Structure 1
Amino acid sequence: MKDLMLAVGGRMTGGDLPQAISRLCRTAVLTMAALFITGCSFIPQYTRPHAPVPEEWPSGPAYRETESKKRPSVSPDLEWHEFFTDKRLRKVIETALENNRDLRAAALNVERARALYRIQRAELLPTINASASARKERIPAEISGSERAPTIEQYDVGLSLASWEIDFFGRIRSLEERALEEYFATEHARRSAQILLVAEVANAYLTLAADRDNLRLAQSTLESQQASYNLIRRRVEVGIAPELDLRQVQQRVEAARVDLALYTGLLAQDENALNLLVGAPVPSDLLPQGLLDIKALPRVTPGISSDVLLQRPDILQAESLLKAANADIGAARSALFPRISLTSAVGTASGELSGLFQSGSLAWNYAPRIVLPIFDPRLWSAVKVTKVQREIAVAQYEGAIQAAFRDVADALAIRGTVGAQLDAQQSLVDATAASYRLSYARYDKGADTFLSVLDAQRSLYAAQQRFIAIHLNKIVNRVRLYAALGGGWK
């Protein structure tokens, strides 16, 4: 009693005792509420790691701008439906964003992570249950200590709070922070999946267009070779050309037939790949006839600083996972401190069902519990594990930045050289075509063998195929650079 009086302060009479106890209880409740609201947090202060890449993009002969300056450059922040100006390609991408199963799974993962975060956040709040029970028991006379066997009845109705942990040391808040960052990571992963899908659909569409160009080239080459074969055969029949010339041109005819069958199969595979990405068969009126049939894509400028990479969704995902690992350290540290929980119930109880809600039937109980770890070496090991996991997350975050920097640097190197390649290849096609015409004219006049004509035809065909490949690489590289800079997720 004396200790209680000292705790309240001042002198106290017997009548003041209930008021003192009430004041002491209110003080204790307010103190616990303040601790619960403010609480402690053992999460280390987060500092974004320094990006392990140069601040500026690489420079050198491979990165010189050789493309035409007439078309202005656009920012990677441009939305995808503004970047892909071809209406048919834009429609195909829209269909893919609606139907693609991988993107749908990524969106469902976001919903799942959001629900898991809400579950973890709800751990901060008490769980209150309503309950009702009835119990009837007969006790034998030998046990009851009386000459008769009594029958005991008990009925109760109430609300209960089952083992609510009061988060004084921030363990639950640390786990909530981790769940929140994991939710953010899944959202960034969905954005990355969307960028990847848009780029893959565009690349598949462009590859289909290039293979249609190759198929037309193989058809025209076969027709040209077949015409040469018919001409040489007539000459052999009248005896003005050797049979060797006929067999040589026949080789080129068969080779052209092989290429025709090859590109026919590749074209079907390209359509199958595009249908898989889109998630539904693409109507034939939306398919391209060739690369020149697709409206040109705008040039993308990466800006001056490489800091733009920090806004890429995959890098933001790696950073969110790093923050989640950082929050894990706080949860592991909190486990070293006491854990306080409260179990309580309030309701009515009676020996008769009709007396449940009568005066005097109120029943309540509360049972606070505190657990203080004294010797558990696993807890210290758990703290070390979380610190190592954070270092792993840092390495993965830095690796994601380095990989992104390389993606952009490679795309810039291709952009700086592909224009010169395309111009040189066009000149090679023109020169080879002129060589073929001259060789055929010399053969027609008897001044040269047909072997030189075949060599010129073979070189022209290879040069035309290479031109289509470089043209495709130029267009695909713009898509690659746009995606590497994080564009197209909106």
Structure 2
Amino acid sequence: MNKSYKTFSSLSALAAALLLAGCANLAPDYQRPAAPVAGDWPSAAKPAETAQAPQAAELPWQQFYAGDARVRALIELALLNNRDLRVALLNVDKARAQYRISDAARWPTVSAGLSGQRSPASNGSGTINSVYQAGLQVTAYELDLFGKLKNNSESALASYLATAEGQRAARLSLVAGVAAAQLNLQAAEELLTLSRQTLATREDSLRLSRTKFEVGAASQLDLSSAESAAGAARASLAAAQRARDEAENALVLLVGQPLPAGLPAAQPLQALQLPRVPAGLPSEVLVSRPDVLQAEQQLRAANANIGAARAAVFPSITLTASAGTASTQLSDLFRNSAWSFASQILMPIFDAGRNQANIEVAKANQGIALAQYEKTVQTAFREVADALAGLATLDEQLSGQEQQARAEAQRLALVELRFGNGVSNSLELLDAQRASYAAQQALLQVRLAKALNRVQLYKVLGGGAADTAKSS
């Protein structure tokens, strides 16, 4: 009865010690820092809001790109095969496991064991002493009186959540990157078609100039000008072909595999329609953008590390306990109870300033994390403001470029007619051809810029972030 009581007392002491664990937390109280940006977007960039339009974060990418089946198919392939996204997912798994390891240190490790020991008696009588033990053991369990283990666990949890937000940010960037790469490829295809048409036209002009030169109706200057224009068109075609191939290579890298043959047809840039999403307020961007949330979780981790560093200055208490049975005869092993309980207290006295330096390092890291968080917020604000500025001006630029392209096309048609009748010379024709080709190129670039602006605005407003959070 006495042995049972002592065993119960020792286990009760261990339980009481466990209840004491975590009774103090030396980490600074965390509060989300105020966003170091204006409360609203610049007035010049802020568009008129559409009352019924959903916020970008709540609009899945499948709906945003609903008008382009090819882009949707490419995004689905990229989400399955992109290697960068795969690494990001594995980093999340790794951070989750590291958090579980850190959190497990807050709890005692209980082991079951069976041991036996035989040794000769010290008096030289030839007698063999035997000791057999069986039971449960708790070895070197540290009481978390000052929150060191708790803060280490919270730091690991925040690091895991930051990694998860980083994976979400990588996913949103991949979606936007694939859409932009397909738009660039489509623009390169259209430029290649325009270059081929231009070369065919200039080769026709060269043949006509050569015929006129042979019959004495054109000068050597006219022939040389036509040859120069045809050569320039061939060079432009080669450059357009190279740009098209490079754009496809970039898209293949993002998709993570060669482009399948059965993809839907691409939408011409002129026919592409992407929805406009409302900008909302800057505070809404902070809530929805995963990169901002990632920076905040990193700040939380640095904040918790300060508490862990401070706790190292105070005493640490470790406990070791066991409860089970022991006997000198293996046959009587489970008849006699046995227990042990030991504690150790270590108080830092002299460490040459190591613990204080660790606190200073933790505080410096927290300051760095704060500056990085604020920089992330400012970068997010600037990206949205830039995208809104493009949204406000690209429509007007596109309208003006279309007007110029139409006018240059009409001028070229008139000059070609006059040249065929011998009224205009080859220099006028060459100038009209160059101007019309340049206007068509510029129009194509503005159409691409407008489409990319819609993609960028959707991305920087956290497009699809709410849907991503549900699926992660």
Query: TM-score scaled to structure 1, two decimals?
Result: 0.88
Check if 1:488 corresponds to 2:464. yes
1:155 shift after superposition? 2.7
- Structure 2 distance, partners of 1:321, 1:177, is 11
1:455 to 411, 431, 447: 431
Check if 1:189 corresponds to 2:189. no
Deviations 1:38-60 (A, max 9, x none): 61111211111111110000123
Deviations 1:45-97 (A, max 9, x none): 1111111110000123xx3759xx99975421211111111122111111111
Tell me what 2:83 maps to.
101
Contact map agreement 2:64 2:275 (CA 8 A) in 1 = yes
- Structure 1 distance, partners of 2:308, 2:85, is 33
- Structure 1 distance, partners of 2:245, 2:56, is 33
Residues 415/293 of structure 1: CA separation in 2 closer, same or farther (3 Å cut): closer
Contact map agreement 1:309 1:405 (CA 8 A) in 2 = no
* 1:367-406 superposed matches below 5 A: 367-376=342-351, 377-406=353-382
1:446 shift after superposition? 2.8
Count residues in correspondence. Answer: 462
Residues 187/152 of structure 1: CA separation in 2 closer, same or farther (3 Å cut): same
Tell me what 2:223 maps to.
246
Tell me what 2:254 maps to.
277
Check if 1:130 corresponds to 2:112. yes
Contact map agreement 2:7 2:339 (CA 8 A) in 1 = no
Tell me what 1:54 maps to.
38
1:363 to 338, 354, 368: 338
- Structure 2 distance, partners of 1:289, 1:178, is 47
Query: TM-score scaled to structure 2, two decimals?
Result: 0.91
Check if 1:115 corresponds to 2:97. yes
Please give the secondary structure, in 2, of the residue aligned with 1:240.
Answer: coil
Check if 1:89 corresponds to 2:49. no
- Structure 2 distance, partners of 1:22, 1:264, is 85
1:334 shift after superposition? 1.2
* 1:2-151 superposed matches below 5 A: 32-36=17-21, 39-60=23-44, 63=45, 65=47, 73-77=53-57, 78-85=59-66, 86-138=68-120, 144-146=122-124, 148-151=125-128
Please give the secondary structure, in 1, of the residue aligned with 2:131.
Answer: strand
Contact map agreement 1:318 1:396 (CA 8 A) in 2 = yes
- Structure 2 distance, partners of 1:435, 1:34, is 89
Give RMSD over aligned pairs. Answer: 2.7
1:241 shift after superposition? 1.1
1:381 shift after superposition? 1.7
Query: Percent identity of the aligned residues?
Result: 43
Please give the secondary structure, in 2, of the residue aligned with 1:158.
Answer: strand
* 1:284-323 superposed matches below 5 A: 284-286=261-263, 288-289=265-266, 291-292=268-269, 295-323=272-300
User: Which of the two has higher C-alpha Rg?
Assistant: 1
Residues 74/212 of structure 1: CA separation in 2 closer, same or farther (3 Å cut): farther
Tell me what 2:396 maps to.
420
Contact map agreement 2:69 2:264 (CA 8 A) in 1 = no
Please give the secondary structure, in 2, of the residue aligned with 1:345.
Answer: strand
Contact map agreement 1:345 1:364 (CA 8 A) in 2 = yes
Range with bigger deviation, 89-98 or 287-296:
287-296
Range with bigger deviation, 373-382 or 22-31:
22-31
